[in-house]
């Protein structure tokens, strides 16, 4: 986001106060407002409304193929730079991330060594602190049984690999 000098000396919002402060300190660009501006404002003693301090929207992408998580993350970041994206490459790590960071959306591969996507989904939906997370499953093995099992386990939808990245992004946006 490109910052411009304040048009009006009267500041009407906390965001414009932070923008003015950044402009005066020679900062003319910021990647996005969520989080960074709040921290900058606090660092300089500015009051920041609690609604601006809300945790960022988090999306966890889980696939044992790192190239898949990177492609999805890159596409999501391009459309939604304000979203915090976390990648995990196995079910065990996904469980750790879910329990600590409580993502809003989990994009989850079903077939992974060790703890598979079916089990990760069941664990997410069984825990009161994480059951709100929307699960978008994906599989290269779209049998009726696999799809029905993951939907019964709590996934909102199951997409087939190779993924249509635009469809996946629409599903993520719908889940937010």
For the chain, domain boundaries: 14-53, 58-175
Q: Which position has the higher pLDDT, 131 or 4? A: 131
Tell me: pLDDT of 64 over 70: yes
CB 117 within 8 A of CB 137: yes
- pLDDT attached to residue 105: 98
- pLDDT attached to residue 47: 67
Residue 167, token pair as written in the block: 């469809």
Task: Give residue-wise pLDDT tens across range 93-132.
Answer: 999 999 999 999 999 999 999 999 999 999 999 999 999 9
Tell me: pLDDT of 176 over 50: yes
Tell me: pLDDT of 12 over 50: no
pTM listed for this prediction: 0.71
- pLDDT attached to residue 49: 62
CATH architecture of 58-175: 3-Layer(aba) Sandwich (3.40)
């Amino acid at each position: 986001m490109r910052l411009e000098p304040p048009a009006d000396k009267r500041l009407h919002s906390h965001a414009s106060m932070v923008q003015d402060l950044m402009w005066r300190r020679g900062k003319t660009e910021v990647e996005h407002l969520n989080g960074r501006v709040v921290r900058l404002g606090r660092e300089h003693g500015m009051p920041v409304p609690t609604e601006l301090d809300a945790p960022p929207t988090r999306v966890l992408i889980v696939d044992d193929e790192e190239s898949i998580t990177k492609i999805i993350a890159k596409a999501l970041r391009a459309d939604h730079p304000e979203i915090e994206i976390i990648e995990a490459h196995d079910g065990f790590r996904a469980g750790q991330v879910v329990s600590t960071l409580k993502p809003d959306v989990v994009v989850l591969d079903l077939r992974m060594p060790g703890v598979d996507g079916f089990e990760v989904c069941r664990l997410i939906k069984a825990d009161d602190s994480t059951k709100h997370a929307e699960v978008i499953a994906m599989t290269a093995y779209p049998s009726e049984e696999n799809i029905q099992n993951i939907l019964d386990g709590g996934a909102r939808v199951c997409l087939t690999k190779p993924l249509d990245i635009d469809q996946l992004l629409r599903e993520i946006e719908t889940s937010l």
